[in-house]
Amino acid sequence: STVVVVFEAPLSKAREDGTVSSDFGFCVKAGDRIRVGEAIGR
Amino acid sequence: GAAAAQGKFLLPGASAAVLLMLGVLHAKRMYDDKQLVERKEQGIEPEFSPDLKASFLRLLPLRSMSRVWGYLMEVEVPVFMRPAIYKAWARAFHSNLQEPALPLEEYPSLQAFFIRSLKEGSRPIDPDPNCLVSPVDGKVLRLGQLRGPGTMIEQVKGFSYPVSSLLGASSSLHDATEKDISGEQTEQNVPESSNAKSWWRVSVASPKLRDRTLLSPKRGIFYCVLYLHPGDYHRVHSPVDWNIFKRRHFSGNLFPTNERAVRTIRNLYIENERVVLEGQWKEGFVAIAAVGATNVGSIKLLIEPELRTNSPGSMTLHSQPYDERVYEPEGTGMMVKKGQEVAGFHMG
């Protein structure tokens, strides 16, 4: 069985002080084992 | 030995030939798998390559076989045999026997053991409000960002499938993409409604259109494909706090979904039976597609227990309409918290 997650996430976000927050990034890579509750990306 | 010494064979010729052939096929498969591992170690990604076995699978009644498998797995096991059988399963498929919520003797069948719940605290949920967590235990097969028109997910190097076919709502997706490419879409045509369908259309199909409607912040569409081994915990949890707007059920085929099948069966995920939950989280669109397989053909939803999957005689081609349910109240749907259990895979 397989699960596919498709989601929208920020590419960049302007803060109030004019700086830009970092993009969404994955915490895992292809081939990794992962368990329920562990972060896929932030 | 005595029979052989007298010049008599223990096996008839045809049986010996079949055994020999099976042995050769098994040896070839082991050789292929070894080569694949070596190529992976060298950084060479496997490519899509349809084979005879994949073609043969299309001739088999996989859904019927799946249901028979399910019936067998639901047969009650005598209490004294349960620990031995479940330990053997755990050894074969690398399950962790420290985690099940109940003692092994209390699972009446392999099915019950397969869909076991876990002890409290076995799966701590990452508390970071800006992260998505894994909805399942499994192996990450693919991940990335969906870019541009077409929005394809790579099944394996050399073969991709459209995300619209996986999730549904393909006509609106196609329309929006076409309009965006041709430049016919103007700001006056931008849909103002925030309902789920138009939202999906704007977000996934048409990045340029999306950027005009939602000028800040810029967003991207990402995906992650996770494969569950037979020994894994088979319940599905919510990856974020979100509102589920709708559910789609695609009653398709039930090909295996192991890594070999991914390399050899075209359109594997969009031909297989699956349930899609679609909604919105604080950063926008989110959807989960639970794709069934031959051995794990049924998908049960906690938020909709009456949904039946892998039913006899309900197979439709992937080009035919799917069954869809919009959760009430429309536009708000069902609120689900990050880590909350939403679904589960069952054998058969």
Averaged pLDDT in 10-residue chunks for chain B of 348 residues: 60 82 86 80 80 85 94 96 96 94 96 96 95 97 84 88 84 39 35 42 48 60 95 96 95 91 91 95 94 95 94 63 88 93 96
pLDDT higher than 80, residue A20: no
pLDDT at B80: 96
pLDDT at B204: 52
Q: Tokens at residue B57, please? A: 């699978």
In angstroms, the separation between the Cα of residue A31 and the nearest Cα of chain B is 5
- Which residues in chain B touch residue A14, judged by CB atoms under 8 angstroms apart? 216-217
pLDDT at B108: 97
Which of B:7-26 have CB within 8 Å of A?
Answer: none
In angstroms, what is the C-alpha Rg of chain A? 14
Annotate B254-284 with DSSP letters as a single string: ----SHHHHHHSTTHHHHB-EEEEEEEETTE
HSE-up (13 A, CA, CB side) for residue B32: 13
Q: Which residues are paired to B326 by β-bridges?
A: B246
Say how many CB pairs under 8 Å bridge A and B.
182
Rounded CA separation B329/B313 (Å) = 32
In angstroms, the separation between the Cα of residue A14 and the nearest Cα of chain B is 7
pLDDT at B172: 38
Rounded CA separation B258/B261 (Å) = 5
- Is B260 an 8 Å CB contact of chain A? no
